[in-house]
């Protein structure tokens, strides 16, 4: 066994526009799928309630992650205790 770590390097790094599109396309496809199911099953109230719950969970998670990132960045800026 080798002690060297395998490193992945893409042949072509993704562009900022490509990353942005990937982040948006997934949730948009889920929403389109929910809307189609709601329309076909004629239960739009339950589907919209599910979307609201998912949206609220996403918003709360985003707030938590942003607070944690700010804390990590603050800790990284502090000097090492032994130096």
Which tens digit of pLDDT belongs to each residue from 10-30?
A: 788 878 888 888 778 877 887
Sequence ranges of the domains in the chain:
17-76
Cα–Cα distances in angstroms (integers) from residue 41 to residues 32, 33, 35, 44, 51, in the given order = 14, 12, 10, 8, 16
Sequence-ordered alpha helix ranges (H) in 1-83: 16-41, 44-77
Q: Which residue has the higher pLDDT, 81 or 62?
A: 62
**Token pair of 16, please?**
């900022």
**Token pair of 79, please?**
């000097």
Is the predicted pLDDT of residue 1 greater than 80, yes or no? no
pLDDT for position 6: 65
Which tens digit of pLDDT belongs to each residue from 56-78?
A: 888 888 899 899 989 988 888 88
Is 5 strand, coil or helix? coil
């Amino acid at each position: 066994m080798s002690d060297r770590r395998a490193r992945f390097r893409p042949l072509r790094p993704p562009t900022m526009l490509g990353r942005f599109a990937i982040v948006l396309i997934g949730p948009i496809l889920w929403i389109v799928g929910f809307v189609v199911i709601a329309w076909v099953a004629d239960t739009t109230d339950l589907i919209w309630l599910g979307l609201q719950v998912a949206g609220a969970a996403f918003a709360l998670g985003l707030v938590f992650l942003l607070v944690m990132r700010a804390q990590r960045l603050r800790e990284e800026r502090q000097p090492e205790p032994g130096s």
